[in-house]
Amino acid sequence: MTSTPRASTQAVAGRLVARTTEITDPGPLLELLPDAAEGAGEDPGLTAWLRRGEGIVGWGVAASIRTTGSGRFDDAVDWWREVAGAAVVRDDLRVPGSGLVCLASFAFADEPGESVLVVPRVVVGRRGDRCWITLIGDDELTPAPTLQRQPEPRAPGNVVFTDGDVDSAEWEAIVARAVERIGSGELEKVVLARDLVATTDEPLDVRWPLRRLGTSYEMCWTFHVDGLFGATPELLVRRERGLVTSRVLAGTIRRTGHDERDLALAATLARSSKDLEEHEYAVRSVAEALAPHCSSMNVPEAPFVLHLPNVMHLATDVAGVVPDTDGSTVLELAAALHPSAAVGGTPTKVAVEMIKEIEGMDRGRYAGPVGWMDAHGDGEFGIALRSAEYSGTRVRLFAGCGIVADSDPEAELAEAQAKFVPVRDALTAR
């Protein structure tokens, strides 16, 4: 058993006061984020959760909590219940993302790793053609800032990439070892990841990669919470007024850059027994974790192919109804789902143990839940994939692959390389 260190809280001075007001369209939300370097030493707390230009961005820190260990989700649930329960909220819009919200990102493993929840001081959101600002303060409202499109973020300068904890040859050997153990019947699937370290000339202005991810990977959820950023195609869970949805991905093929060839490859992917098997494990793990909370569920029989600029995935959208009698918040659902077979394996416990034993690196918050939640427990959590953690000029990129009985280590390495592309390009693109 791992111990559960207590959560460390940055105290909320008093109760939080939040007010949401409708505003005219302020332009692309990512362009509103202020320059973190101008914050006079204060934590700028830049946060983002966006897809196709809709979602929320935030800055400033009205309240936050850091938590570790196997109790990280429970600590977060308790903290948010307390903060949201005591808050005074005025929200005339009542759309997803308006009112009091927190953004959060959780460590993949029970140990090591730190999880973070942040309530920004200023949140600006867009849903359809409605836009809003929410000001959050302790005891009294944060004064309204002037919303303006910010100049182009500072460029990272030259970027040098080096192997992370495990180089490519070693990683292939690790994958080969996993395939052997799957062959001997120890487990069915394990997801193995590796990291790549980018060193930038200038301390990273996270708005630089965020803007590029937001435009190049529109169909993904572009996010940033406390130094973890990326654009994930995988939605762990969304809860919106009793309806839950999850987009499950597993089974991948690299794109060639030629539309016709890619279409042929998409058809191959949809028929590939190796990928369908890997996908089936992931869908089953999500459906089984959601079932106890749902009065009805829809699990499509066959996946569709999701086309991204770098790769294509087998994808299934699972949906369910959470009755009022269940009352689980989106965070509790995310906790129940994590780690799904898309990032852990099957059976989960054996796979997670094997990851710890052979992967050779600390995942940090990569592949953990990342997203936002409101005071009613609605919100969205994605899986932090196609992501990186940064501090100053050091950026750690992550990518992983589901390994099954007939996985080929060389092909898996190439697949992981393709999954580095979104963040790599976002750092180096002009």
Ligand X SMILES: C=C(O[C@@H]1C=C(C(=O)O)C=C[C@H]1O)C(=O)O
Which residues are catalytic, by number?
A: 189, 234
Q: Which of 34, 20, 107, 102 is nearest to 63 (CA)?
A: 102
Site string for ligand X, 185-214 (x = CB under 6 A): ------x-x---------------------
Residues within window 340-359 making contact with ligand X, judged by CB under 6 A: 342-343
Nearer Cβ to ligand X, position 212 or 313?
313
- Taking CB under 6 A as the binding criterion, the range among 53-61, 94-102, 290-298, 397-405 that sits at the site for ligand X is 397-405
Minimum gap (Å) between residue 172 Cβ and ligand X: 15
Nearer Cβ to ligand X, position 106 or 132?
106
d(CA 182, CA 178): 6
Minimum gap (Å) between residue 420 Cβ and ligand X: 9
Candidate list 7, 401, 418, 423; residue touching ligand X; CB under 6 A: 401
Candidate list 138, 205, 234, 359; residue touching ligand X; CB under 6 A: 234
d(CA 342, CA 56): 26
d(CA 235, CA 290): 14
- Total residues contacting ligand X by CB under 6 A comes to 17
Indicate the Cα dihedral angle 231, 237, 239, 240, nearest 10°: 50
Q: Which of 246, 245, 248, 223 is nearest to 384 (CA)?
A: 223
Nearer Cβ to ligand X, position 10 or 268?
268
How far from each other are the two terminal CA atoms of the chain, in whole angstroms?
48
Minimum gap (Å) between residue 11 Cβ and ligand X: 36
Q: Please provide the size of the chain in residues.
A: 430
Identify the bridge partners of residue 373 per DSSP, sorted by sequence position: 102, 379
386 binds ligand X (CB under 6 A): yes
- Taking CB under 6 A as the binding criterion, the range among 20-28, 30-38, 172-180, 243-251 that sits at the site for ligand X is 243-251
Nearer Cβ to ligand X, position 198 or 385?
385
Minimum gap (Å) between residue 276 Cβ and ligand X: 11
245, 317 contact by CB (below 8 A) = yes
124 binds ligand X (CB under 6 A): no
365 binds ligand X (CB under 6 A): no
Minimum gap (Å) between residue 337 Cβ and ligand X: 13
400 binds ligand X (CB under 6 A): yes
- Taking CB under 6 A as the binding criterion, the range among 77-85, 92-100, 135-143, 247-255 that sits at the site for ligand X is 247-255
31 binds ligand X (CB under 6 A): no
- Taking CB under 6 A as the binding criterion, the range among 121-129, 158-166, 246-254, 259-267 that sits at the site for ligand X is 246-254
252 binds ligand X (CB under 6 A): yes
Nearer Cβ to ligand X, position 19 or 279?
279
Residues within window 290-329 making contact with ligand X, judged by CB under 6 A: 313
100 binds ligand X (CB under 6 A): no
371 binds ligand X (CB under 6 A): no
List residues binding ligand X (CB under 6 A). Answer: 191, 193, 234, 249-252, 313, 342-343, 385-386, 399-402, 419
